[in-house]
């Protein structure tokens, strides 16, 4: 699959020390991707949750979805906070 860009981050939420807190993946994607593709990335990350951020065209909003290694979840607090951290950094 041809990829324009995909930035992958691993963030330790709820801590200011490496290897502590609650680890999560944060993926910035350049376009909508199939659920199976995001599920495969989340499985490979092998973290409790992986967040996928897609910037909406024409405004500053982002779409945010969360996947575990086995399924999509409706909400994940620490992955949401980690995503905000990546966007602000």
Nearest to 46 by CA among 63, 65, 19, 68: 68
Output b/e per residue, 32-66; b: 16+ Cβ within 10 A. Answer: ebeeeebbebbeebebbbbbbbbeeeeeeeeebbb
Active site residues: 49
């Amino acid at each position: 699959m041809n990829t324009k860009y995909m930035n992958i981050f691993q963030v330790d939420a709820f801590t200011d020390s490496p290897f502590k807190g609650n680890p999560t993946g944060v993926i910035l994607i350049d376009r909508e991707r199939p659920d199976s593709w995001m599920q495969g990335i989340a499985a490979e990350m092998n973290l409790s949750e992986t967040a996928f951020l897609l910037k909406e065209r024409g405004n500053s909003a982002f779409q945010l979805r969360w996947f575990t290694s086995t399924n999509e979840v409706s909400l994940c607090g620490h992955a949401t906070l980690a995503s905000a951290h990546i966007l602000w950094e």
